[in-house]
Structure 1
């Protein structure tokens, strides 16, 4: 009985330590300003269709300091890779272009049931962990595709473990006017910078940053 009590106490202590560390990482995350310490390795999450178009418009605004650029797309996405390569060729010369394209399983397919999406998200997390730990990005940039959730969680984990602070930058899609997307609702508490493109969202979510239409 005493052993069981000791195990429970140890687990509670471990959970408490994890929560305190998580709070510290999220609370102090915005003190780091990307780009103030030289080149910024950025991991860009591209979703299919409009998500990829919007994220590439955001990339047009970033300076050459954001390098290398690691794009992550879903393994079932057959269009984004060509768009990314075309964008990189148009914006950067061959000598300057430092980018990679990686694929991970999609967290949730369109019309996929919520119960099965839990399993697929865990599968995506299984691929995200070694990828993010290997790339060690300074920043994760995303704008809504479900694929970004396991990547952002892994980036947060790097900070919790004290290995590296990874800034999570989320830009809500311009089509979200009154409510956040499901991805936005999940990442709102942990994102270092959370941008919305409508003032109505800024009023509902005080942590968000409203700069007008970004894309």
Structure 2
């Protein structure tokens, strides 16, 4: 069992390394704005993402994909109420909700979380590959976004989504250090944004955007 997990982890690390070098070659491609995908974690992460989407002109996109966990029974209602309350123009036909399994549950062991993460990546990859084009993927910190980001990267470097841009926004509660998800993804995303200026010194790729809440 341990040997099998080591093989899987080695494969995963190798894939991320390949994605990193491919990413450096495709930085200058411009998005076509066919579709935007936005990942909602839960609780505070969803609240921060709502502050972000107020700045998005959804008319620029043909399709809008909202992603949440199967076990999240709150985010969908919260997002729909927010859009209506703030009079954000978006057509119902334009929106598609996608439910995905969480990669890790609270207090889950490392061994079992490795398997559930890989399972979630496979599930997300199948979902993502059916979508015609994701030009922008917007996520803000929860571990839920990890399998989605990896799936978009896999499609991107299999030449299916050549123009996809991934934007990661670090959580407001991260004042001096990056989240584990942020540390994993910083080399692979196109933009890495933070809400506290102190974090800028940690990596030249980090951009400060101010506090969202």
Q: 1:84 aligns with which of 79, 87, 102?
A: 79
Q: Does 1:56 align with 2:55?
A: no
Correspondence for 2:114: 118
Q: 2:159 aligns with which of 162, 170, 173?
A: 162
Q: Does 1:149 align with 2:143?
A: no
Q: For 1:95 and 1:50, how far apart are their aligned partners in 2? A: 26
- SS of residue matched to 1:76: coil
- The aligned length equals 196
Provide the TM-score with structure 1 as the length reference. 0.82
In structure 1, stretches of 5+ residues that fail to align are 1-17
Change (3 A) 1:213 1:186: same
Q: Does 1:194 align with 2:189?
A: no
Q: Tell me if the contact between 1:174 and 1:197 (Cα under 8 Å) persists in the aligned partners.
A: yes
Correspondence for 2:104: 108
Q: For 2:211 and 2:30, how far apart are their aligned partners in 1? A: 22
- SS of residue matched to 2:130: helix
Alpha-carbon displacement from aligned partner over 1:141-199 (angstroms, at most 9, x marks no partner): 10011111111111111121111222111000011011110110111110011111112
| Greater radius of gyration (CA) | 1
Provide the TM-score with structure 2 as the length reference. 0.83
| Deviation at residue 112 of structure 1 after TM alignment | 2.3
In structure 2, stretches of 5+ residues that fail to align are 1-14
Q: Tell me if the contact between 1:71 and 1:99 (Cα under 8 Å) persists in the aligned partners.
A: yes
| Deviation at residue 57 of structure 1 after TM alignment | 1.1
Q: Tell me if the contact between 1:143 and 1:173 (Cα under 8 Å) persists in the aligned partners.
A: yes
| Deviation at residue 67 of structure 1 after TM alignment | 4.2
Correspondence for 1:31: 28
